[in-house]
């Protein structure tokens, strides 16, 4: 299982074009891993988690294409994760040789937004599946199992456990402190990788809606206590906001003693 983290920023991007704070200014100066676009990921070139307006630039930068994509699963309807109008560009008016059928999964609000943005789905070769229900696993045409679990974010947000080729990825954002029933559903099944929301960086917060560094470490420990995180689980923090202020070098150093990696755009994890 190859996971390509296409983007690792919170909604406003980092540097944010509307912001001249020290963290944005320093990211502009340093470039490289401090330039963060909006979060989404590509798995084995056939599964994509979330689709936002940065996907085009991210795919160009990665030297990849989406012509083999068969599953698109959305975590939630926030614009930095779900910009369904972008999917119109797979249509026959734009692409002479349209790509194969793409199966689309998401919660009820996501399904509503996708349908509203695109109208007739047939020319786009999109099959939008009935809304995902919490704790109800579905298996896609490419053999990926999606287990949607409740998040502490906006209604209609799912944390995802994705199983493919015998490997398991927990896609843990966006969310604050996980609901007990989500932790219970993950209990006893070891993960190969867990991805955590770290929007707040070192900032104090109430663990509502997103996590910061403390919250990431707490959630990792909670999952460890129930046997989901083991010593073999790759732990990765992502979805960073400039409001947290810590640049890549500082995040990496802060997380290193805890064996958590600080994600950056273009990071590849092979499980």
Ordered strands of the 71-73 beta sheet = 126-128, 102-105, 71-73, 47-49, 40-43, 2-7, 267-270
Using the rule CB under 5 A, give the single segment among 24-32, 102-110, 159-167, 251-259 that binds Zn ion. 24-32
- Give the torsion through C-alpha atoms of 162, 110, 176, 253, to 10 deg: 60
- Binding segment for Zn ion (CB under 5 A), chosen from 106-114, 178-186, 238-246, 250-258, is 238-246
For the CB of residue 239, give the shortest distance to Zn ion in the complex, in Å.
6
> In terms of DSSP H, where are the helices of 94-133?
108-118
In the complex with Zn ion, which residue's Cβ is closer, 90 or 153? 153
Q: Using the rule CB under 5 A, is 80 a contact of Zn ion?
A: yes
Q: Which of the stretches 50-58, 63-71, 99-107, 234-242 binds Zn ion when contact is defined by CB under 5 A?
A: 234-242
The distance of closest approach from Cβ of residue 155 to Zn ion in the complex, given in angstroms and rounded to an integer, is 11
Verify binding: residue 66, Zn ion, rule CB under 5 A: no
Least Cα distance to 139 among 110, 161, 171 occurs for 161
Q: Does 210 bind Zn ion (CB under 5 A)?
A: no
Count the site residues for Zn ion by CB under 5 A. Answer: 7
Nearest residue to 144 (alpha-carbon basis) of 126, 165, 173: 165
What is the spatial distance between Cα 109 and Cα 74, in angstroms, rounded to a whole number?
Answer: 10
Nearest residue to 153 via CA among 77, 82, 223: 77
Q: How far is the CB of 249 from Zn ion (least distance, A)?
A: 17
Residue 33 binds Zn ion (CB under 5 A): no
Chain positions 114 to 153 lying near Zn ion, rule: CB under 5 A, are: none
Measured from the Cβ of residue 65, the count of other Cβ atoms closer than 10 Å reads: 11
Looking up tokens 């994890």, which residue turns up?
269
19 contributes a contact to Zn ion by CB under 5 A: yes
Euclidean distance between the first and the last CA atom of the chain, given in angstroms as a whole number: 5
Subset of 156-185 contacting Zn ion (CB under 5 A): 174
113 in contact with Zn ion (CB under 5 A): no
Residue 71 or 175 with smaller CB distance to Zn ion: 175
Give the span between the Cα atoms of 106 and 73, in whole angstroms: 6
Question: Near Zn ion by CB under 5 A, which window of 14-22, 66-74, 83-91, 106-114?
Answer: 14-22
- Taking CB under 5 A as the criterion, the residue among 78, 161, 164, 234 binding Zn ion is 78
Is the backbone of residue 260 left (phi > 0), alpha (psi -120 to 50) or beta?
beta
CA–CA distance, 189 with 223 (Å, rounded to integer)? 10
When asked if residue 24 is in the footprint of Zn ion (CB under 5 A), the reply is yes
- Give yes or no for residue 242 binding Zn ion (CB under 5 A): yes
Interface residue list for Zn ion (CB under 5 A): 19, 21, 24, 78, 80, 174, 242
């Amino acid at each position: 299982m190859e996971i390509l983290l296409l983007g690792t920023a919170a909604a406003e991007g980092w540097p944010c074009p509307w912001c001249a704070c020290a963290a944005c200014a320093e990211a502009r100066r340093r470039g490289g891993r401090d330039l963060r676009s909006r979060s989404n990921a590509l798995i084995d070139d056939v599964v994509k988690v979330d689709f936002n307006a940065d996907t085009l630039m991210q795919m160009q930068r990665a030297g990849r294409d989406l012509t083999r994509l068969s599953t698109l699963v959305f975590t939630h309807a926030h614009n930095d994760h779900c910009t369904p109008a972008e999917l119109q560009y797979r249509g026959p008016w734009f692409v002479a040789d349209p790509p194969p059928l793409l199966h689309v999964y998401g919660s009820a609000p996501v399904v509503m937004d996708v349908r509203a943005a695109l109208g007739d789905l047939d020319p786009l070769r999109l099959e939008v599946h009935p809304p995902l229900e919490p704790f109800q696993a579905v298996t896609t045409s490419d053999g990926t199992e999606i287990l949607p679990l409740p998040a502490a974010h906006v209604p209609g947000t799912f944390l995802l456990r994705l199983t493919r080729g015998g490997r398991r990825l927990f896609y843990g954002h966006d969310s604050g402190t996980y609901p007990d029933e989500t932790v219970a559903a993950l209990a006893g099944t070891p993960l190969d990788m867990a991805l955590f929301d770290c929007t707040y960086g070192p900032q104090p917060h109430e663990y509502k809606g997103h996590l910061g560094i403390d919250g990431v470490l707490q959630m990792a420990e909670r999952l460890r206590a129930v046997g989901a995180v083991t010593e073999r689980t790759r732990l990765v923090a992502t979805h960073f906001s400039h409001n947290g202020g810590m640049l890549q070098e500082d995040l990496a150093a802060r997380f290193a003693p805890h064996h958590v990696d600080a994600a950056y755009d273009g990071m590849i994890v092979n499980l």
